Amino acid sequence: MSPENPFPADPDRAAIWTMLVDRDITAYVRNEWTMVEADHVSASEFMSIDARTTSNPDSWTVGGNLAAYRDAWSAGSAELSAAVPADTLEAGLREVTTLRDIEIHEGNAVAHKKFDGTIRRRDGGLVHLNWQTLYFCRQDAGRWRIRGFIGRLPNPMGDTSVASHAKEVPAHATQHVTAGPYSPVLTVRADRLVVVSGQAAIVPDGSIVGDDIEEQTHLTLQNCRRQLAFAGCTLSDVVKVNAYLTDMATWERFNSVYRSYMPEPCPVRTVVGATLLDGLLVEVEMWAVAR
């Protein structure tokens, strides 16, 4: 995408483009929320919806409030900036971002912001950006402001049927009473499978973080969630998990943390004792269905 504003002769659309593309990217790369704070309505008016990368509204969920969005925006900026050099990140975001469809009526606007492409990471890997956001804006005190959005819509919008990628526990499937937070069996229909290699409590500089199973499990699952996000997935899309523990006596403590992350129906799962790299207490790999 050209970095030039595509609406030079239309002041309102030009202002919305500047707000949602130019200023937002600059602020995001710098992780400076104060640059875009005034671009939003008051917290009491703001609302967001997470489309969860599906075009089926039945699967959408209510997003967080403005403070939660700010925190997620800042956390995403910090995470991406740690993986991609600043100049590469800004150029990459401008390249993959498109905003050419803006509908305006009586002081209200709907803007279609799309992401489609990849950005090269420091380690040589790629960050995949492939979704779109529908922004709802209004004029307020002489400027355009964001009053809400539907985020993580698929790009392009596809079949609204969830049957092609649903996961469900078959009727009458049962398991023993001592089973942990996992499904005994799932039926899955999918067009695209996402596979996450073994993740552990390791931060970007290669250090192992955490001295107990709870702390390491939290970071391990957060790393899994981060890798899934690169492919446009969430933990809700996971269908299969393999987990490896250095000490099977920590199984219940591992389950306690694991249960807090995994939505129902839980993925099928296997947990085994294993010898891991020195200092690691747990490692987790995942299979997910891309929506």
For residue 18, the 8-state DSSP code is: I
Position 166 scores a pLDDT of 61
Q: Hey, what are 204's tokens?
A: 């970007």
- CA nearest 223: which of 251, 192, 273, 261? 261
Position 186 scores a pLDDT of 74
Q: Each residue's pLDDT tens digit in the chain (291 positions)?
A: 445 899 999 999 999 999 999 999 999 999 999 999 999 999 999 999 999 888 889 889 998 899 999 999 999 999 999 989 998 999 999 988 999 899 999 999 999 999 988 888 888 777 888 889 999 999 998 999 999 999 989 877 764 444 444 667 776 677 776 677 877 777 777 778 889 999 999 998 899 999 999 999 999 999 999 898 888 788 888 999 999 999 999 999 999 999 988 888 889 999 999 999 999 999 999 999 876
d(CA 207, CA 107): 51
Instruction: Count CB neighbours of 48 within 10 A.
Output: 20
Burial 179-192 (b: 16+ CB within 10 A, else e): ebbbbeebebebee
Three-state DSSP state, 43: coil
DSSP string, 143-178: EEEEEEEEEEEESS-----SGGG-EEPPTT----TT
Instruction: Write out the residue limits of the CATH 3.30.1330.40 domain(s) in the chain.
Output: 163-289
Position 90 scores a pLDDT of 94
Instruction: Write out the residue limits of the CATH 3.10.450.50 domain(s) in the chain.
Output: 11-154
Position 262 scores a pLDDT of 87
Q: Hey, what are 5's tokens?
A: 């504003």
Position 177 scores a pLDDT of 63
Instruction: Count CB neighbours of 64 within 10 A.
Output: 14
What CATH code is assigned to 163-289? 3.30.1330.40
For residue 250, the 8-state DSSP code is: G
Position 291 scores a pLDDT of 65
Domain 11-154 has CATH 3.20.20.80: no
